Amino acid sequence: MLIRIETEVRPTEDERKVLKALKRLFNAEFQLIERGEGWKSFVAECSDKSCLEPLRAAIIGKALSSTFKSMLRSLIRGSDFLIFKLNKQAAFAGVPSFAEEDVDSPMGPITVEVTGSKEELIELINWLVGEESGSDIQRDTNRRTEGEPLRS
């Protein structure tokens, strides 16, 4: 499994504050990459879910498991790729909050991309929301793949 975390640092942003927001939700080594004309990005890659431990703790600690479970579940749809975006300003406060559209995060979102087998993605979602058994996610994911509606 490969996990990639990226967010842009806009010319008006303080790099230290952006890095602080990232570190509140991710345990990863971020590299600052120059994009040109004053634009930069922080990027990290890891092959172990432990880099998501602070995100997991925040999801569980703030009672967001149900929200994250249903949202992340809807994003895999039988593929081997999961991508989701988080609000950078909320991350600075240590709160994980989805940014469904870039406009939901005025300073640009934090983008998390996970590549792995469908089983790995299901296990990761379960782990992120504090569930060890993946049977209900597997069943609902299979149902969605077959075109049946997801029951809440």
Asked whether the predicted pLDDT for residue 135 surpasses 50, the reply is no
Contact 18, 87 (CB under 8 A): no
pLDDT digits (tens, 9 = 90+) for 21-30: 999 999 999 9
Contact 72, 128 (CB under 8 A): yes
Q: How far is CA 36 from CA 33, 55, 106, 109, in A?
A: 9, 30, 20, 19
Residue 152 tokens read as 């809440």
Asked whether the predicted pLDDT for residue 139 surpasses 60, the reply is no
Asked whether the predicted pLDDT for residue 99 surpasses 50, the reply is yes
Class assignment of domain 2-145?
alpha beta
Phi then psi for residue 111, to 5 deg, are -105, 130
